[in-house]
C-alpha cells in the first residue's frame, strides 16, 4: 500500500560559537591539511553549558514549527533522537514540550541508538502517520546532540554539535519518503560508546570506520533489492547508486562521506563484475568516475557539516539541509538516497523524493543567517569552554528566538527563552 508521508518542514539550531580547525591544528602542532583535507572539516561548533541538547532541540523545533506554519494543536507526537540526553528518566522531548508550550495531547519520548536515534524517530513518526493512528496529526521529530571527545584526543577535530527538527506529516512539502522501502543492518560491536556517567565518548576510531562501511554495504544491498522490486530504480547501463540524484550519508567528519560513496559504488560495480576480483585496473578506471560522481551526488550535502562538525543524530539531517539549501530548485521531483549509521551498531539506507514546495520550505529555515550569526573563537577560549562543568551554565541571555539552559535546581533544568 502506498502512503504519502515525509518531512513537511525542517530547521536547525547550532551553538553560537565555532573554532576554525586550522587554528586547532596549529595549536596541536599538526599539519592543518590533516584536518581540512584528511578529515574534510573546516570548523566545529563549540557549545557552552547553556547550549545543551534540550536547548538546541527546542530552538530547532521552534524554527521548524515556524517554517511549516503548522498550528501546534496539530502536533500529536514529539520524538527527540539523542545520545546526549540530560536525565536518565525525563525525556528531552518533555523539555521541548515545555519550552514550546505544546498541548498536553502529545505523546513525548526520546529514541537512542548513537547517531541513528533521529532516524528511528523519523520512521516511527512516519509509520504512526501512515497507519492512520495519527488521525491527521503531525509529529515533531528532532535530532539534537553534542559530540565531545575531549582535549588532545584523537577524536578532538571531529567534535561539534547541533540540532535538526522536522515536522513529519501526510503533507510532505519538503521531502516525501519512499515509505516501506528501507534497508537495515545491525551488529553488536564496540566501535564507539559512552558508559553512563561519562561526559566524553570512548571510540575505536579506525574500527568505527570499518563498522560504518560494512553496515553501509549491508543496508544499501538490502535497500537496493527492495527499490528494484518496487521499480524505484532499474538495472541497466547506469549504476543503481547513480540513479539517486544526491546521497546524504551520516558524516562524523566530512571525509567519511567520500569513503562511504566509494564503498557504495564498489557494491554496484562488484555486482556488475559478476564476482571478478577488484584489482588495480578496476581501481584506476573507477577513480575519475568516483571523483566526478562524488562532486555531483555527495559534495552538496556537506557544507553545513564542514562548518558545524559532528552533530551525531542530526548529522544526516544537516546533510539534507545542506543539499536543499544549495540546490532545491534543481532537485524538485528527484530521488535522493539517505544513509544513517549509529555506532554500536545499527544502520539504515532509505530514500525520498524532493517535493515541489521544497524551495520555499528550505528558504524559511534561514540556514545561512543562522550560520553567519556565529562567533569565531580562539583555541584558548575553546579550551576554557571545554573545561566548564556541564551543570554550570554561563549567565548569558539567549539570543532572540533561542533557548538556553539557565540553571539547575535539585536536578530540575530551568530554561530561558530569548
Ligand atoms: N595532509 C593531508 N591529509 C592527511 C595528512 C596531511 N598532512 N595527515 C593525515 N592525513 C589524512 C590521512 O591519510 C587520513 O586519510 P584517509 O582516511 O583517507 O587515509 C586522514 O587524514 C586521517 O588521518 P588518520 O591518521 O587516520 O587520523 P587519526 O588516526 O587521527 O583518526 C579518526 C581519525 C576519524 C579515526 C579520529 O578522528 C576519530 O576517532 N574520530 C571519532 C570517531 C569517528 O568519527 N568515527 C567515524 C565512524 S562513526
- Cα 305 to the chain's mean position, in Å? 9
pLDDT tens for 187-220 read 999 999 999 999 999 999 999 999 999 999 999 9
Pocket mutation for ligand 1, best pick of 38, 156, 287 (most atoms within 8 Å of C-beta): 38
Residue 65 reports pLDDT greater than 80: yes
Please compute the mean of the pLDDT values over residues 161-167 and round it to a whole number. 98
Report helix, strand or coil for 215: helix
- Give the pLDDT score at 3: 81
Residue 275 reports pLDDT greater than 80: no
Cell of 21: 580547525
Query: How does DSSP classify residue 243?
Result: G
Burial tier of 296 (Cβ tally within 10 Å: 0-12, 13-18, 19+): exposed
- Give the pLDDT score at 277: 84
Strand partners, 161: 146
Cell of 383: 579550551
Residues lining ligand 1, Cβ inside 6 A: 31, 33-34, 37-39, 154-155, 158, 192, 203, 205-206, 208-209, 212, 252-253, 256, 343
Closest ligand 1 atom, CA of 212? 47
Among 94-98, 133-137, 281-285, 399-403, name the one with the lowest average pLDDT.
281-285
- Give the pLDDT score at 60: 98
Report helix, strand or coil for 56: helix
Residue 1 reports pLDDT greater than 90: no
pLDDT tens for 219-244 read 999 999 999 999 999 999 999 999 99
Does residue 372 come out as left (phi exceeding 0), alpha (psi in the -120 to 50 range) or beta? Answer: alpha
Pocket mutation for ligand 1, best pick of 28, 34, 37 (most atoms within 8 Å of C-beta): 34
Is 88 in the active site? no
Is 83 in the active site? yes
Is 22 in the active site? no
Dist. CA 347 → ligand 1 center (Å): 22
Given 115, 211, 254, 345, the catalytic residue: 115
DSSP string, 112-176: -BTBTHHHHHHHHHHHHHHHTTTTT-EEEEEEEEEE---TTSTTGGG-EEEEEEEEEES--SSEE
**Residue 206: C-alpha distances to residues 21, 117, 192, 312 (Å):** 20, 22, 10, 17
Please compute the mean of the pLDDT values over residues 395-408 and round it to a whole number. 96
pLDDT tens for 142-160 read 999 999 999 999 999 999 9
Q: Which of the four pLDDT bands, split at 50, 70 and 90, describes residue 274?
A: confident
Q: Which of the four pLDDT bands, split at 50, 70 and 90, describes residue 2?
A: low
**Residue 49: C-alpha distances to residues 23, 388, 393, 415, 416 (Å):** 22, 7, 5, 12, 13
Among 36-45, 246-255, 267-276, 365-374, name the one with the lowest average pLDDT.
267-276
pLDDT tens for 283-309 read 999 999 999 999 999 999 999 999 999
Closest ligand 1 atom, CA of 250? 48
Closest ligand 1 atom, CA of 114? 48
Extended strands (E) in 240-310: 246-249
- The share of the chain scoring above pLDDT 90, in percent, equals 96
Report helix, strand or coil for 32: helix
The CA distance from 342 to 333, in Å, is 29
- Give the pLDDT score at 278: 85
Q: Whose CA is nearest to atom 31 of ligand 1?
A: 154
Please compute the mean of the pLDDT values over residues 113-141 and round it to a whole number. 97
Amino acid at each position: 500500500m502506498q502512503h504519502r508521508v515525509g518531512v513537511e518542514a525542517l530547521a536547525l539550531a547550532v551553538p553560537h560559537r565555532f573554532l576554525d580547525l586550522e587554528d586547532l591544528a596549529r595549536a596541536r602542532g599538526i599539519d592543518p591539511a590533516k584536518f581540512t583535507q584528511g578529515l574534510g572539516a573546516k570548523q566545529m561548533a563549540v557549545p557552552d553549558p547553556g547550549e545543551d541538547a534540550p536547548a538546541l532541540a527546542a530552538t530547532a523545533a521552534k524554527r521548524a514549527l515556524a517554517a511549516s506554519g503548522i498550528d501546534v494543536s496539530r502536533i500529536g507526537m514529539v520524538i527527540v533522537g539523542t545520545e546526549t540526553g540530560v536525565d536518565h528518566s525525563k525525556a528531552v522531548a518533555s523539555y521541548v514540550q515545555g519550552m514550546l508550550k505544546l498541548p498536553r495531547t502529545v505523546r513525548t519520548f526520546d529514541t537512542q541508538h548513537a547517531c541513528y536515534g533521529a532516524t528511528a524517530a523519523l520512521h516511527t513518526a512516519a509509520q504512526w502517520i501512515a497507519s492512520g493512528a495519527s488521525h491527521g496529526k503531525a509529529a515533531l521529530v528532532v535530532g539534537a546532540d553534542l559530540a565531545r571527545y575531549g582535549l588532545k584526543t584523537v577524536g578532538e577535530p571531529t567534535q561539534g554539535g547541533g540540532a535538526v527538527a522536522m515536522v513529519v506529516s501526510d503533507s510532505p512539502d519538503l521531502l516525501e519518503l519512499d515509505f516501506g522501502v528501507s534497508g537495515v543492518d545491525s551488529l553488536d560491536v564496540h566501535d564507539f560508546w559512552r558508559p553512563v556517567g561519562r561526559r566524553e565518548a570512548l571510540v575505536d576510531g579506525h574500527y568505527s570506520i570499518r563498522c560504518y562501511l560494512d553496515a553501509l554495504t549491508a543496508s544499501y544491498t538490502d535497500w537496493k533489492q527492495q527499490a528494484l522490486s518496487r521499480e524505484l530504480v532499474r538495472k541497466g547501463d547506469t549504476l543503481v547508486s547513480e540513479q539517486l540524484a544526491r546521497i546524504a550519508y551520516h558524516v562524523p567528519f566530512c571525509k567519511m562521506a567520500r569513503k562511504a560513496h566509494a564503498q557504495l559504488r564498489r557494491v554496484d560495480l562488484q555486482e556488475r563484475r559478476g564476482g571478478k576480483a577488484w584489482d588495480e585496473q578496476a581501481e584506476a578506471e573507477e577513480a575519475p568516475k568516483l571523483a566526478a560522481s562524488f562532486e555531483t551526488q555527495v559534495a552538496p550535502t556537506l557544507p553545513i557539516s564542514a562548518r558545524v562538525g559532528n552533530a551525531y543524530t542530526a548529522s544526516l539531517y544537516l546533510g539534507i539541509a545542506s543539499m536543499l539549501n544549495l540546490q532545491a530548485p534543481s532537485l524538485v521531483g528527484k530521488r535522493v538516497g539517505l544513509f544513517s549509521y549509529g555506532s554500536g551498531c545499527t544502520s539504515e539506507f532509505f530514500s525520498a523524493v524532493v517535493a515541489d514546495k521544497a524551495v520555499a520550505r528550505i528558504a524559511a529555515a534561514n540556514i545561512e543567517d543562522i550560520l553567519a550569526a556565529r562567533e569565531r573563537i580562539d583555541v584558548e577560549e575553546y579550551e576554557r569552554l571545554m573545561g566548564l562543568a556541564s551543570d554550570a551554565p554561563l549567565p548569558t541571555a539567549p539570543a532572540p528566538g533561542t533557548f538556553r539552559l539557565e540553571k539547575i535546581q535539585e536536578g530540575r533544568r530551568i530554561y530561558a527563552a530569548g
